[in-house]
Amino acid sequence: MFRWISFIMSRTETVTLNVKVSILSVSVTLQVVSAVLIAVGIYAKIAKEKDVVDTLTVDPALLLIVVGSVMFLITFLGCFGALRNATCLLKMFLGILVAVLLLQIAAGVVGYLFTDMVMERTERLMMKAIVRYREDQDLENAIDFIQKKFQCCGVESYKDWSHNVYFECSDTNPSLEACGVPFSCCIHQQNQTVLNTMCGYGMQQLEERSAGQDVFTIGCLEKIVWWAKNNLLLVAGLTAGLLLLEVCMICLAAAQISRIKKVQQQQKENAARSKSERKDSYWYPAFADFDDE
């Protein structure tokens, strides 16, 4: 009987240790990723000039800091809770992961049911980023990267750059880039070896067919949607992988909490049993012959 009890307890401790190691390994990995995000965001925030864009929606550096800090806090709860067998921290870790998972599912459902509203909000956000172009170096680099990657220009068309004060197409605009577009909108020629940063000058004054010979005329919003539809398996795979990782962490945290409670309950029962045995050892059996002693 005692052998079976010891075997079950050893198996329970082994499973608990394996679950703890799994939580620690995933949490430490995510903590390293979050620390890198925070470091990159802080470096970008310090390196940029003062009095620039500092809103969360259009500042990539601030976005990296916030995302990295939240990720680091969540993974710290799971890591420290599993390391110290603290059920309160593990429950907080579990609750936050469940809330994040539900929010992601709700966002996906809302985005599917209200596609037009989501597209309108996304268009406003992208247009706001175009308006603040040249005010933040990080934002400028991000927009240039997107326009080069997706071979697009503006939000809906290349003429959206007229909303920016530097590229506004009007007779009263003293900027040298008036009626132009950024160089990231330009079509890279095969034999071109030197980057021409003035290739987009005056392109808004041309018709779409004429401008299309030198710059991309299709908006980035349409190109991004088109890319997502053509790479639906990749997008679905990345989304499913992220959700699966969160579900695995939730299951591991729940299993660890359950194992800790079982071990604590067994320890209480063993303590109560040993206390009862010590108490019974003080009682002599009935009709004992004390004269033989």
Structural domains present in the chain:
115-242 (1.10.1450.10)
- Using the predicted structure, report yes or no on whether residue 59 has a pLDDT greater than 70: no
Q: Which of 52-56, 106-110, 138-142, 274-278 has the lowest mean pLDDT?
A: 52-56
- Using the predicted structure, report yes or no on whether residue 253 has a pLDDT greater than 80: yes
- Using the predicted structure, report yes or no on whether residue 292 has a pLDDT greater than 70: no
- The pLDDT mean for the chain works out to 80
Mean pLDDT over 150-161 rounds to 93
Q: Which of 26-35, 58-67, 146-155 has the lowest mean pLDDT?
A: 58-67
**Full-model pTM:** 0.68
Nearest-5° angle of CA 68, CA 85, CA 71? 5
Instruction: State the Rg of the chain over Cα.
Output: 31
DSSP states along 226-293: HHHHHTHHHHHHHHHHHHHHHHHHHHHHHHHHHHHHHHHHHHHHHHHHHHHHHHHTTSPPTT--GGG-
Confidence of residue 168 (pLDDT cuts 50, 70, 90): very high
Mean pLDDT over 216-224 rounds to 92
In the chain, the percentage of residues whose pLDDT exceeds 70 is: 82
Confidence of residue 22 (pLDDT cuts 50, 70, 90): confident
54 or 37: which leads in pLDDT:
37
- Using the predicted structure, report yes or no on whether residue 282 has a pLDDT greater than 90: no
Confidence of residue 217 (pLDDT cuts 50, 70, 90): very high
- Using the predicted structure, report yes or no on whether residue 20 has a pLDDT greater than 80: no
In sequence order, the β-bridge partners of residue 164 are none
27 or 254: which leads in pLDDT:
254
User: Nearest CA to 203 among 223, 186, 189?
Assistant: 186
Nearest-5° angle of CA 204, CA 174, CA 219? 25
The pLDDT of residue 182 is 93
Mean pLDDT over 115-134 rounds to 89
185 or 189: which leads in pLDDT:
185
- Using the predicted structure, report yes or no on whether residue 21 has a pLDDT greater than 60: yes
